[in-house]
C-alpha cells in the first residue's frame, strides 16, 4: 500500500509537470498577431475625438427610491440632485430626498397579535424617514461603453458618492420626531443614451440616529445610529447640452 501511494503521487506529479510544460509550450509556440505599422498614427493619442461627458458640466436629476432594510416602516422617497463636475473623475453636488413610511408586514403582524392578546387595539410606535439632505463628493473611477438590449451601444460610468448631511425622521405613537446628522456612502451606474441625458441606478447607505420602533409594552428605547440602504433610480439632464470633445 505505501508503494501504491507513492506511485500514485509520483504519477500525479508527472501529469502536473506535463500539463505545465504543455501550457508553457503553447504560450511559446502560439502565433503572435502581426501589427501593421502606420507612420501616420505615430505620436497620436490612443483615443481621438473623445467625448468629455463630465468635464465642466452640470447635471440636474429627478430621483425616486425606496429603502431596503426597514423592519417596521418601508420608506418611499423622491427628490432631486445636482452635480458640477470639476474634471472627468470628480464632481461635487447636493442630494435632497423627501418621503414617508409604509408599514411592513412585521408591523401589521405585531399590531394584530397584540390587539388580540390585550383585547384592545394596539398600534406600534414607529419612525420613518421624512427628509434626507446632504452635500457630497462624487468620484468616477470608470467611464466606458456597454451593449444593452443586445445591439445598443451606450456610454456608461461607475461612480462613488461620499457625503454628509442631515436627516429628519417622523415618529408615530410615543416615538418622537428626530433630527440627525447623516453620513452617506453610495455607489452607482449611469447610462448615457445621448450626450445630454442619463439614466442611473444607485445604492446609498444613510446612517441615521433614530428610534426604529417602541417596545411591545409601549416604552421607547434610546435612539441609535442605524443603516438605511436606499435604492434609487434617476433621470439626469446635463448642461451645457453639448459636451466638449478632445481635439
- CA-only gyration radius of the chain, Å: 28
Supply the CATH classification number for the domain 57-245.
2.40.160.20
Residue that the C-alpha cell 493619442 belongs to: 45
Among the listed ranges 25-39, 63-77, 96-110, 197-211, which one has the minimum average pLDDT value? 25-39
φ, ψ (nearest 5 deg) of residue 184: -140, 140
Task: Note whether 67 and 228 are within 8 A (CB).
Answer: yes
pLDDT bucket at 29, cuts 50 / 70 / 90? very low
240 three-class SS:
coil
Tens of pLDDT, residue by residue over 95-105, are 999 999 999 99
What whole-number distance in Å separates Cα of residue 244 and Cα of residue 175?
52
Q: What pTM value is reported for the model?
A: 0.77
Contacts with 182 (C-beta within 8 Å, 6 or more apart), sequence order: 132, 134, 164, 165, 166, 167, 206, 207, 208
Count of C-beta atoms within a 10 Å radius of residue 98: 14
Tens of pLDDT, residue by residue over 104-123, are 999 999 999 888 766 788 89
Delimit the domains of the chain by residue range.
2-32, 57-245
Tens of pLDDT, residue by residue over 197-207, are 999 999 999 99
Residue-level length of the chain: 247
Count of C-beta atoms within a 10 Å radius of residue 194: 10
Tens of pLDDT, residue by residue over 213-239, are 999 888 999 999 999 999 999 999 999
What whole-number distance in Å separates Cα of residue 235 and Cα of residue 148?
17
Which secondary structure element, helix H or strand E, spans residue 115, and what is its range? Answer: helix 105-118
Closest CA to 226 of 210, 238, 203, 215: 210
What whole-number distance in Å separates Cα of residue 126 and Cα of residue 116?
20
Beta bridge partners of 25: none
Amino acid at each position: 500500500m505505501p508503494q501504491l501511494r507513492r506511485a500514485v503521487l509520483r504519477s500525479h506529479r508527472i501529469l502536473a509537470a506535463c500539463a505545465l510544460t504543455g501550457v508553457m509550450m503553447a504560450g511559446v509556440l502560439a502565433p503572435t498577431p502581426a501589427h501593421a505599422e502606420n507612420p501616420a498614427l505615430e505620436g497620436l493619442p490612443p483615443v481621438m475625438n473623445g467625448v468629455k461627458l463630465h468635464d465642466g458640466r452640470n447635471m440636474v436629476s429627478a430621483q425616486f427610491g425606496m429603502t431596503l432594510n426597514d423592519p417596521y416602516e418601508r420608506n418611499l422617497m423622491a427628490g432631486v440632485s445636482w452635480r458640477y463636475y470639476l474634471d472627468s473623475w470628480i464632481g461635487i453636488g447636493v442630494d435632497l430626498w423627501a418621503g414617508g413610511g409604509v408599514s411592513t408586514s412585521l408591523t401589521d403582524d405585531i399590531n394584530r397579535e397584540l390587539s388580540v392578546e390585550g383585547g384592545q387595539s394596539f398600534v406600534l410606535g414607529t419612525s420613518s424617514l421624512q427628509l434626507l439632505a446632504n452635500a457630497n463628493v462624487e468620484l468616477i473611477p470608470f467611464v466606458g461603453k456597454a451593449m444593452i438590449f443586445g445591439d445598443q451601444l451606450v456610454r456608461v460610468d461607475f461612480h462613488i458618492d461620499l457625503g454628509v448631511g442631515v436627516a429628519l425622521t417622523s415618529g408615530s405613537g410615543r416615538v418622537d420626531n428626530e433630527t440627525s446628522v447623516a453620513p452617506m456612502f453610495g455607489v452607482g451606474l449611469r447610462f448615457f443614451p445621448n450626450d445630454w441625458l442619463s439614466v442611473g441606478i444607485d445604492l446609498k447607505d444613510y446612517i441615521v440616529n433614530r428610534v426604529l420602533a417602541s417596545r411591545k409594552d409601549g416604552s421607547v428605547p434610546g435612539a441609535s445610529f442605524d443603516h438605511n440602504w436606499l435604492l434609487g433610480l434617476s433621470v439626469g439632464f446635463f448642461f451645457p447640452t453639448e459636451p466638449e470633445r478632445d481635439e
